[in-house]
Amino acid sequence: MRDINLSNQALNVIIHHASNKGIKPDNEDFVGAIIPDGTALIHKGITAAIADGMSGSDAGQQASQCCVVSFLTDYYSTPDSWSVKQAGQKILSATNSWLYSQGHIRYGSSKGMVSTLSIIVLKSATAHIFHIGDSRIYRLRKGNVEQITRDHRVWISEEKNYLNRAMGIEPRLEVDYHALPLARGDVFLMTTDGVHDFVDEKSLKNLLLDNTDLAETAEKIVQLAISLHSDDNLTCQIIQVDALPEAKEDEILRRHANLPFPPPLEPGMMLDGYRIAAELHASKRTQVYKAYDTKTAQTVIIKAPSILFDDDTYYIEHFLHEEWAGKRINHDNVLKVLSTDREKSCIYYVTEFLAGQTLREWMDQHPKADIDVSRKMVQQIAKGLRAFHRMEMLHQDLKPENIMFDAQGVLKIIDFGSVKIAGITEITPLSDSNQENVLGTLNYSAPEYHLGQRGSVKSDQFSLAVILYELLNGALPFGQDIPEKPDAANLAKLQYVPSFHCNVMVPLWIDGALKKATAVNPALRYDELSEFLHDLSVPNPQFLNTQATIPLIERNPLLFWKCLSALLFISNVILAYCLA
């Protein structure tokens, strides 16, 4: 047994559990919880789990322990940028595969290592629930007890039943997941069937309401089940939420809240050991400087926020999240945000220096670029984009201006200003009151953003396809007719302009891939970025078969008029011959 009391500005909880083998010779239940320190508490949250090894399995005790221990430890090794759902499902899928394979290897049976598993992750003001099997989670709120998981047990008769879902029983895992908003005073009760099959909800409610000490309450629940002749192992775990984080609390913003904006920087000025060399770019939102790091003897880039927004919390949040996102991606096709142990005197961040030009500048010099060259460029950009997606981030503002060549000619995605981070959004969604929701650039932003819908990896796919279309054709896939603020009616009128109107050298199958990837309706785009890249290299018969359906006047206007002229000439000759 243990009693954990955590006092923190963000979250205050008490956790206690009790377990007893009952009349069984061994206890095949397993229970545990972890409350991390520091930033992990904010970015990952508190975890609690309970498992019940299936009594008919060969190694139920080992299975239940593996389920709980692997989740509680592996969860904190996943990227901070991942959502709880993504992290949990990845871990549970891997654990299930291991249990299933070990059950067959060691015991030669699908019932070798099988266990139920119920998990609560408390992150910010949300409870994330994962559940497989017939262990249970109840919630006590305002005097009412509610079972928030459902039993995965099939009853054949009053005497016969079986688990139809559990960890390790099948190679493919189906997990119940849902998220619940937390309220101060919530109490969660986690039980195995040795408890809840013998103690009714009314009795559980009375014991929880009479709670003065969680340790005592947990033990009372177990002892009550024993007195009611429970014939199984008995385990329960209680989590009491005493305080919640403030609605808009964010560790990143809080840590920098008292830092000032930097002053206008001039060549020769020093900033925390960085000597300013030149201003490279200035806009109403940011200033970008080339600088020399006197500590590491390297040329770097410093990006600083504009003083015009020093009282704009929404803007500051986004700027700080740029650095957070950039530091968590390490890929050759993504600009590296540099870490340093020096104390900052103001708000800014530092990146590697790129000596090359932007993709926009390159495109201006190479209109209607070579197909193979363009395809290789897009493959590089896609690799960088995948690095974002693997971290469960969306770029949301991919365009030629945000892509640069380094000195070796490698393309890198350089801007993080509109990145959406799933794991941070769970802590606190960025405030958008009185702000423009569409963060991207008009001609490159996916249409769903303009309709107020959530973006997805298909939204970044749209932007990438627009870039390739422009590389090949020197134009945009929907022409220049996109209104400044598109609505549903205007977007419905958009018509894709086939590549042969701009560049007859673009194969029809490549244009077919571009048309699909830039579909206004995201459901019509590719499900995976890899599918789009494949269709850019290997002709898709689906697109080749469309050639016959396109009128010749659209496919090749010059050939059409030549053919028409020849037919008219022949008809005139025949007509003249007949008249003669």
pLDDT of 249 higher than 60: no
Q: What angle do CA 497, 446, 462 make, to 5 degrees?
A: 65
Q: How confident is the model at residue 506 (pLDDT cuts 50, 70, 90)?
A: very high
Condensed to tens digits (0 to 9), the pLDDT of residues 38-71 reads 788 888 999 999 999 987 676 889 999 999 999 9
Residue type, 514: L
2 in helix, strand or coil?
coil
pLDDT of 413 higher than 90: yes
Fold of 3-243: Phosphatase 2c; domain 1 (3.60.40)
pLDDT of 569 higher than 80: no
Q: How confident is the model at residue 580 (pLDDT cuts 50, 70, 90)?
A: low
Q: Assign domain 251-352 to a CATH class.
A: alpha beta
pLDDT of 488 higher than 80: yes
> How far is the C-alpha of 522 from the C-alpha of 571, rounded, in Å?
49
Residue that the structure tokens 């015009």 belong to = 308
Check if the beta carbon of residue 413 is closer than 8 Å to that of residue 394. no
Question: What pLDDT, on the 0 to 100 scale, is given for residue 148?
Answer: 95
Fold of 359-549: Transferase(Phosphotransferase); domain 1 (1.10.510)
Residue that the structure tokens 């947990």 belong to = 218
* 184 alpha-carbon distance from chain centroid: 28
Q: How confident is the model at residue 555 (pLDDT cuts 50, 70, 90)?
A: low
Residue 437: CB partners within 8 Å, gap ≥ 6? Answer: 449, 452
The 144-147 sheet, strands edge to edge: 3-6, 12-20, 234-243, 187-191, 136-141, 144-147
**How many C-beta neighbours within 10 Å does residue 409 have?**
9
Q: Provide DSSP, 131-200.
A: EESS-EEEEEETTEEEE-S---EEESSSS-EEESS-BTSSSS---EEEEEE--TT-EEEEE-HHHHTTS-
Condensed to tens digits (0 to 9), the pLDDT of residues 6-35 reads 434 568 899 999 999 999 999 999 999 999
Domain coordinates in residue numbering, the chain: 3-243, 251-352, 359-549
Buried-exposed string 556-566: b where 16+ CB fall within 10 A, e elsewhere: eeeeeeeeeee
Q: What angle do CA 297, 301, 306 make, to 5 degrees?
A: 140
Q: Which of residues 577 and 99 earns the better pLDDT score?
A: 99
- Rg, C-alpha atoms of the chain: 31
